Each structure stands twice: as structure tokens, then as C-alpha cells.
């Protein structure tokens, strides 16, 4: 699956890379709700509706990163229920998590020109852009 192309078409069509704006445009329900601290969010579908739950205890930027990741699940794995798979099967879900992370990286880094950060350490760039370092590393690895 060409995740970079999926993101490119999505941003071009809806003229935004904001995951919340994209979920609105795609008619995906999202709810911000206090969850346990170790749960950033999750995606599920019910009655053919896509629903994303974002942990409201986190600061805004972390919610945006989580929304981008969960939007990746919505679009790349619409019929998957990772929570069910983790709890009830032996299927390894890391492939789906990696794809959702790559989607989030492409989406969050879509309009970022990394040449402005030449000579900076990875931690400095991640801090400046307010994104997790692992997302930045994925975007760079994918040829951003």
C-alpha cells in the first residue's frame, strides 16, 4: 500500500492535513473522552459508522498526533478491530500499527520543509515541530 500517495490524494482533495478537519470531511465521528493514561485513543466501527475516540487528558498536540494515527486506521484498515485481535487472536497487529504510524507521519509532515532544519538534532526538530520523535524519524525514513 502506498501510504504517501493515500495522504497526498486526501490532502489534495480536502485541502487540509489537519486530522480533525479530515475526519469531519469524511464523516468520521470522533469523540474526546478521558481514558486511562496509557490509552491514547482507538478506532472502531459500529453500524457502518467509523468512530475514533481520543484521550482528552492529553494536551492538544498529542491529541492531534493520536487523531492522525487513528485516521490512518480508519482509512487503511477500516474493517480491523485491533483491540479485539489483540485480546482474542494470535494475529500480530504490529503491521497495522506501523502502517497507521506511517500514515500519521506523512499527514503531520505533509507541508513541512525539513531543509530549514539542516544541522539540527532530531530531538530539536521534533520539539520545534511539536511532534513525537518517532513520527519525525518515520517521515524522514520514508523520504520526506
| Per-residue model confidence as pLDDT tens digits over 67-103 | 999 999 999 988 776 555 455 444 545 788 889 999 9
- Judge whether 34 and 54 are in contact, CB under 8 Å: no
Q: Average pLDDT, stretch 57-63?
A: 95
Q: What is the CATH number of domain 3-141?
A: 1.10.10
Check residues 110 and 88 and name the one with the higher pLDDT: 110
Global confidence as pTM: 0.86
Burial code (b: 16+ CB inside 10 Å, e: under 16) for 62-98 equals bbbbbbbbbbbbbbbbeebbbeeeeeeeeeebeebee
Amino acid at each position: 500500500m502506498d501510504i504517501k500517495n493515500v495522504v497526498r490524494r486526501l490532502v489534495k482533495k480536502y485541502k487540509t492535513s489537519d486530522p480533525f478537519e479530515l475526519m469531519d470531511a469524511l464523516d468520521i465521528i470522533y469523540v474526546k473522552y478521558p481514558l486511562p493514561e496509557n490509552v491514547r485513543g482507538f478506532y472502531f466501527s459500529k453500524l457502518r459508522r467509523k468512530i475514533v475516540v481520543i484521550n482528552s487528558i492529553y494536551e492538544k498536540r498529542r491529541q492531534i498526533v493520536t487523531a492522525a494515527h487513528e485516521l490512518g486506521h480508519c482509512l487503511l484498515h477500516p474493517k480491523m478491530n485491533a483491540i479485539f485481535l489483540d485480546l482474542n487472536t494470535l494475529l500480530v497487529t504490529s503491521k497495522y500499527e506501523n502502517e497507521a504510524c506511517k500514515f500519521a507521519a506523512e499527514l503531520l509532515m505533509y507541508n513541512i520543509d525539513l531543509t530549514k532544519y539542516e544541522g539540527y538534532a532530531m530531538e530539536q526538530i521534533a520539539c520545534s515541530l511539536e511532534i513525537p520523535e518517532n513520527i519525525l524519524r518515520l517521515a524522514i525514513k520514508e523520504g520526506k
